[in-house]
Structure 1
Amino acid sequence: MPARRITWSKALIALFLSLVTLTMFIPIVNLIARALSNPGQVHLLRGYELWPRGFSLINFQVVLGNPIVGRALLNSLFITIAGTVLSLLFTSIAAYVLVQKNLVGKTPIMIFLIIIMIFEPGIVQEYMVVKDIHLLDSLWAMVLYRMINVYYLIIMMRFLEDIPDSLTEAAKIDGAGHLTLYTRIVVPLSRIPLVTIGMFYAVAKWNEFFKSSIFLSSPKNTVLQVLLRQFVVEQDTTALVGASDLLKNNNIAQLDFSALKAATIVVAMVPILMLYPVILKHYTRGVMDGGVKE
């Protein structure tokens, strides 16, 4: 096989992308190093050092050992998982309906959806709707909030329009109804868009802070992002509750606040980062399955 030629343009692009990757990778590793450092040696870290000074899990033990943080983590996981599943379900169903050629009123419906996408309602109107349906201070308010994103719906529609009509026509001749078409043909052939849009939905649900701070008011229904802001930005030391016993057992005088903040950020960041390798694996497999074979 002939050797691949590396042009200057490809080399420059690779160098640029590598630098961009480092700008994101180095701060993350620095946070992990700070969180894993011994509380008595954290002050020795300079700039963006990537290796911890000493080693201690006390910061993670304090953060994860706090019942408030544990409850917020479970709430965020529930909102992300339930919200993503329901959003994918209803987005794919809506897209399947809207791509039907004999759908009456398709153009007015699409115009209405695009208007909704461009002109979003205000927070007061959204708050009154959530209040009227009795979902204030309920996790279901965040699960159902913006269940269907119009932009993702349009992306899904574009993929479904590429499904050959011969497949659906053959299934209809065999007596398949819309439910069978959706479950046996549309969903299996839409793995790539479903996985991609699912990743977008999951990241949005996990990172939602503003609406969560408005719709959820009680401590039992708080989410990790709201708690993260209270601790990191407002420097609320709630996460230090119950840390005295851990400090005595580990012979530590006091915790370093910057290391504790770093541990909290890592705890809030790791679950959603674990999603990307799984998504990319299925995405790559879907692309290869759809390749031309000789």
Structure 2
Amino acid sequence: MASSNKTRMERLEEAIIYSVLIAIVVVTVQPILNLLAISLSDPARVPGMSGMDIVPDGFSIDIWKLLASHPAVQRGLMNSIFITLVGAILNVTFTAMMAWALSRKKLPLRRTLFVLILATIVFEPGIIPDYFVMRRLGLIDSYASVIIYKLVNAWYLIILIRFFEEVPEELIEAATLDGANAFQVFWRVVLPLARPALATITLFYVVYHWNDFLRPMIYFNDQDMWPLQVVLRQFVVVGDKAAIVGLQAMNNYEGASQIDLRAFRAGMILFTILPVLAIYPFILRYFTKGTMSGALK
């Protein structure tokens, strides 16, 4: 009934909006479908496929078998999981604690500390000074060099500070009157209220650690420490086909020498994308919850 009352101009505007959104979805999804089609195609037919194909030419999972058995990919996956998991946990923990402290208006030197935090955004050092600091600390070839970098991101810290400032003081006072100490107030009252904001910055930190390749590439001389993104660069940018062909002798994988490098690259790119896509639904479900949901428990 409501749609019948819309004017022709409103219906035209809706049609334009939907058309633009559909076009954006197509442009975004088509490259991913093309990579999927190439990775699932018969390796012998991959050279004849174009960048617009979204349907596999033949069907083969040889690329995925090769990826699953490739030693460099296996090590890279485990390294990426470790760096992302440990890094995100430390990031969210320290960011939340620091944001809660800075959101308290009675904190001494609160304004000065906030200005210093903003200064880190404006005057961010480059990669060369960072490298010399890490070398001076003895953190080269150490996972700590990429995990502790930006342990607290200033932008995400500001998001949480603004969120914590909206927590009603009545809830904090009620918890204090019930005998809760400062840590219990933070853990049992504030954090449940902040689930949407925590989910947001957790997603940001996870994506950052998972996609980071520049610093691991610079700080890790040991190739066994390379995360998945650096391994991906080795195959996609450098084009290290020798590492692929060498798998035949290493793992006795039949047909490894016939694998098309383009198909391997397509599978490798998808292999690095899928884990992040898989966690989106589990984090995004918190975004729809109200900020006061935790107060009702």
Q: Same fold (TM over 0.5)?
A: yes
Q: Is the 8 A contact 2:195 2:291 kept in 1?
A: no
Aligned CA distance change for structure 1 residues 210 and 91 (closer, same or farther; 3 Å) = same
Q: Is the 8 A contact 2:73 2:228 kept in 1?
A: yes
**Aligned residue in 2 for 1:68:** 72
**Following the alignment from structure 1 to structure 2, what is the Cα–Cα distance between the partners of residues 287 and 128?**
45
Aligned runs of 1:94-109 on 2, under 5 Å?
94-109=98-113
**Aligned residue in 2 for 1:233:** 237
1:161 positional shift: 0.7
**Following the alignment from structure 2 to structure 1, what is the Cα–Cα distance between the partners of residues 142 and 22?**
43
Alignment pair present for 1:53 and 2:57: yes
**Aligned residue in 2 for 1:78:** 82
Letter in structure 1 aligned against 2:244: A
Secondary structure class of the residue paired with 1:243: helix
Aligned runs of 1:134-173 on 2, under 5 Å?
134-173=138-177
1:175 positional shift: 2.4
Residues 34-89 of structure 1 show CA distances to partners (whole Å, capped at 9, x for unaligned) of: 00101111123233111101111111111221111100111011111111111001
Aligned CA distance change for structure 1 residues 229 and 111 (closer, same or farther; 3 Å) = same
**Following the alignment from structure 1 to structure 2, what is the Cα–Cα distance between the partners of residues 18 and 192?**
28
**Aligned residue in 2 for 1:246:** 253
Higher relative contact order (CA 8 A, sep 6+): 1
Aligned runs of 1:69-218 on 2, under 5 Å?
69-218=73-222
**Aligned residue in 1 for 2:260:** 256
Letter in structure 2 aligned against 1:247: E
Secondary structure class of the residue paired with 1:136: coil
In structure 1, the gaps of 5 or more residues are: none
Percent identity between the two aligned chains: 35
In structure 2, the gaps of 5 or more residues are: none
1:159 positional shift: 0.7
Aligned CA distance change for structure 1 residues 288 and 162 (closer, same or farther; 3 Å) = closer
Counterpart pick for 2:225 among 215, 221, 227: 221
Residues 262-290 of structure 1 show CA distances to partners (whole Å, capped at 9, x for unaligned) of: 11111111111112122222323x14975
CA RMSD, Structure 1 to Structure 2 (Å): 1.9
Residues 105-130 of structure 1 show CA distances to partners (whole Å, capped at 9, x for unaligned) of: 01110110000111101222211222
Residues 133-153 of structure 1 show CA distances to partners (whole Å, capped at 9, x for unaligned) of: 322111222111111100000
**Aligned residue in 1 for 2:27:** 23
Secondary structure class of the residue paired with 1:274: helix
**Following the alignment from structure 1 to structure 2, what is the Cα–Cα distance between the partners of residues 146 and 239?**
35
TM superposition outliers: structure 1 runs of 4+ over 3 Å: 1-7, 287-290
TM-score, length basis structure 2: 0.91
**Following the alignment from structure 1 to structure 2, what is the Cα–Cα distance between the partners of residues 81 and 175?**
34
1:11 positional shift: 2.6
**Following the alignment from structure 1 to structure 2, what is the Cα–Cα distance between the partners of residues 265 and 76?**
14
- Which region of structure 1 is more displaced relative to structure 2, 235-244 or 64-73? 235-244
**Following the alignment from structure 1 to structure 2, what is the Cα–Cα distance between the partners of residues 46 and 219?**
33
Aligned residues: 286
**Following the alignment from structure 2 to structure 1, what is the Cα–Cα distance between the partners of residues 245 and 144?**
29
TM-score, length basis structure 1: 0.92
**Following the alignment from structure 2 to structure 1, what is the Cα–Cα distance between the partners of residues 77 and 248?**
19
Letter in structure 2 aligned against 1:130: M
Aligned CA distance change for structure 1 residues 288 and 107 (closer, same or farther; 3 Å) = closer
Q: Is the 8 A contact 2:193 2:291 kept in 1?
A: no
**Following the alignment from structure 1 to structure 2, what is the Cα–Cα distance between the partners of residues 47 and 62?**
22
